[in-house]
Chain A
Amino acid sequence: MLSFRAPGFRHGIHPPDSKELTAHLPLRRMEFPDEVVLPLRQHAGKPAVLLVKEGDRVVRGDVIARADGFVSAPVHASASGTVRDIGLWPHPDGSMDTAVRITVDRWSPQVARPRVVPVWRGLTPTQVVTAIQDAGVVGLGGAAFPTHVKLAPPDDLKVQLIILNGAECEPYLTTDHRIMVEYPERVHFGLRVMMHALGVQRAVIGVERNKPDAIEALKRTVPPDLAIEILPLTVKYPQGAEKMLIKAVTGREVPSGKLPVSLGVVVQNVGSAASIGEVFETGLPLVERVVTVSGRGVHAPANLIVPVGTKLGALLDMCGGLTDDAAEIIFGGPMMGVPQSSLDVPVVKGTTGVVVLTDADVRQDRSYPCIHCGQCLDACPLYLNPQRLGELARAGRYEEMEPLHVMDCMLCGSCSYVCPSNIPLAQLFQASKTALRRRPPAKAAS
């Protein structure tokens, strides 16, 4: 076993992190836009079920769509106003999807209705889980998996450890960084509620070492009655991937095809923890989130507190607009984020940031043949063989990729990043995984 200077994982890559553009900028609250667009599908799981109709008046914090079952989350109005229409609208994932458009009241004070703030101490775990689901809290690290689901593990599995993910390994993004620096108490409070819900005694907050101010702020504010450890981690991409984080903190590997809870570990994002903290402080559901707007293609990068549903164009206006050489607008980080083709897409709950790359930043080159240099093998954090998998994917031999564990691939893009021949490996694997999932289940003879 290798030893590490700081806890981390093997392999991985070191893209330039470009966080200096926004790391020092305090959070600013964005003014309310003229219109918010709220897709019904802002989380993994089943989309929410619509509760309003055209012309309805809504107040900030009102439920406009309810959760559809347990693995789902409700959607709340992020601003007071009138429902203008309900229909298909560009979604940040690239599709068109049902969304509620709300015309925001021009002169409204944007005060939520009076509401009962749940007192966590008196609640049973089930009641905490329900309160978090009702507040519409989902994983704010990007995947947007409903947070409460991970707080209600199957009865036969006992959770011993909560890990809060403050690695934020994607270049450019400083969302979690600013939350940890400016709201460390709220992170700890949200963590306390989660520890209560899961009956866990121990928690670790993992933060990459390139955020010393965040580490310091969290350490200073650890509640004395809780066993919370702040663990500085190696700076390496993808340190924030769930499996890599668990490996760094516990030294153990999540078995292939299993969930972290099989090791007794639950991982949540620090932003989600702060959001839970807010729910139990103010009673306000998840109607806004922190978004980093960064990249050399935008005039004034910023860390903003943005109402969910704010359209990309309004957000960019807030940041001084695009530069002349802006080439690509990405929701999320540049390694795993989704490029946007329209300025009308709304910020959703899972939008960690908006990165605008310039012509000089983007990959604009032809592909060369694979020269078997093996750099992808040295980059893959899951020790897959992207070289062989890429060969098979290009030949459409998806069945042969399954025994090589292509389904474990988390599409972190490390292989594509290092490939000198510019082969779109991550894209090939995404297509391969989709093809394998769509495959008819176990044919009788083939």
Chain B
Amino acid sequence: MKAALKRLIVAAAPHLRGPVPTPVIMWNVVGSLVPLVAAATYFFGPSALLVVAASVLGAVGTEHVFGNGGTLADGSAAITGVLLGLTLPAGFPLWMAVVGSVFAIGFGKLLFGGLGYNVFNPALLGRAFLQAAFPAAITTWPIAGGSGGSWWALRGDNFAIPFTHPVTDAVTSATPLGLMKFESKTASLGDLVLGTTGGSLGETAGLLILLCGAYLALRNFLNWRVPVAVLATVATFAGILHSVDAARYASPMFQLFAGGLMLGAVFMATDPVTAPVTNAGRWIFGIGIGLLVVIIRTWGGLPEGVMYAILLMNAVTPFINQLTQPRVFGTDRARIVV
């Protein structure tokens, strides 16, 4: 017996561990984004793939160079890259996509201390930066489905030389939200649900986004409370407005499926790092985003407000956490410890 003794592990309890490590969660999210990239490629041609690839390259490269060693394997940089790519239009110059994703990882995440410490969703921060830096390029929307030219044709100016003004010769279209805002035209709901409209790469196929989100929620890789709260709030708020004046305010279904709401609600607002950690807090967070989205879309100067809505709620997340501490077993009520 004693001869058979070998080195024994002596570690702190518990000695068993749950089945799902963080990198598995992260790579599953990446995997669930693949159908969205495929759909974008189907609608917008190879340009879509190029933009996403450029964005991933920038994100992963930045993480590799400035990250804290071995952090590439956790998959979080890849998620940021894909998500940022999906928020950009198909004809977006690739060098701008790289700049955006370098900013997203470098300033949005690594500057705060890397994974787990960032305040704002890095992908959205990257997009906000691009919107401020390149307002024209980021609002040049090629139409989906490839009218004019073959599927293989590039949509716009993907290979523009850095710091030259891109020459836009693509067949472009306004986004449904833009049309709604500035021309009071609504798109058909079928186009919105399936994704055959103008818009950023990943935001058009609402139904597909919901399916991918449902997969993640079922495997408990994503907290369902946030997207449910966001979508329910938008539907309710928009529904109230629509019933007050149907001519002036868009229908709830239009609000739900137009623009980046689906992508934002399912994949960005649910970023656990930048969302509240308590379940009560997640409801508040989601409702806040929903309200802000409708307010910005309806009365703001921009046609779309999902990005700013999520970033604003990211900023108040620490306060939501403090206000929603759970009631401890055997005590009367939640005690707010500031």
Contact = CB atoms under 8 A, between A and B. Distances in A.
A368 B327 contact: no
A362 B22 contact: no
Interface string B7-21: 011111111111011
Contacts of A411: 13
B15 A377 contact: no
Interface size class of A (residues with CB under 8 A): 35 or more
19 contacts: A15-B18, A243-B329, A255-B330, A316-B1, A322-B5, A337-B15, A339-B11, A339-B13, A361-B16, A362-B16, A365-B21, A368-B22, A368-B115, A368-B116, A369-B116, A369-B117, A371-B22, A387-B277, A388-B277
Contacts of B165: none
A383 B328 contact: yes
Interface size class of B (residues with CB under 8 A): 35 or more
Nearest to B70: A366
Interface in A373-414: 373-375, 377-378, 381-385, 387-388, 400, 403-405, 408, 411, 413
Contacts of A375: 220
B73 to A, nearest CB: 10
With most chain A CB atoms within 10 A of its CB, the pick from B9, B20, B74, B116 is: B9
Contacts of B14: 334-336, 363, 413, 416-417, 426
A5 interface: no
B329 A253 contact: yes
A317 to B, nearest CB: 5
A422 B21 contact: yes
B272 A421 contact: no
Contacts of B330: 243, 253-258, 382, 408
B328 A384 contact: yes
B8 A417 contact: no
Contacts of A365: 17, 21
Contact of A322 (B4, B20, B24): B4
A370 interface: yes
Interface in A209-267: 243, 247, 253-258
A126 interface: no
A369 B15 contact: no
B15 A382 contact: no
Interface of B: 1-2, 4-6, 8-18, 20-25, 74, 114-117, 220, 223, 272-273, 275, 277-279, 282, 321, 325-331, 335, 337
Interface in A322-381: 322, 326-330, 334-341, 343, 355, 357, 361-365, 368-375, 377-378, 381
Contacts of A55: none
B9 to A, nearest CB: 4
Contacts of A364: 9
A426 B13 contact: yes
Contacts of A13: 18
Nearest to A366: B70
Given A243-B330, A253-B329, A369-B114, A313 B12 contact: no
Contacts of A416: 13-14, 17
Contact of A368 (B74, B117, B275, B278): B74
B22 A339 contact: no
A417 B326 contact: no
Given A313-B1, A339-B10, A405 B15 contact: no
A422 B18 CA distance: 9
Nearest to A337: B13
The 6 closest A-B pairs by CB, nearest first: A369-B116, A413-B14, A427-B12, A256-B330, A382-B329, A328-B9
Contact of B13 (A336, A341, A373, A405): A336
With most chain A CB atoms within 10 A of its CB, the pick from B1, B13, B23, B282 is: B13
Contacts of A368: 21-23, 74, 115-116
Contacts of B220: 375
A171 interface: yes
A401 to B, nearest CB: 10
Given A256-B329, A430-B12, A417 B116 contact: no
B12 A335 contact: no
B2 A339 contact: no
Nearest to B324: A385
Given A335-B14, A371-B115, A420-B25, 18 more contacts: A243-B330, A255-B330, A334-B15, A340-B10, A343-B5, A357-B16, A362-B11, A363-B15, A364-B9, A368-B115, A371-B25, A374-B223, A383-B327, A385-B278, A387-B277, A388-B325, A400-B337, A416-B13
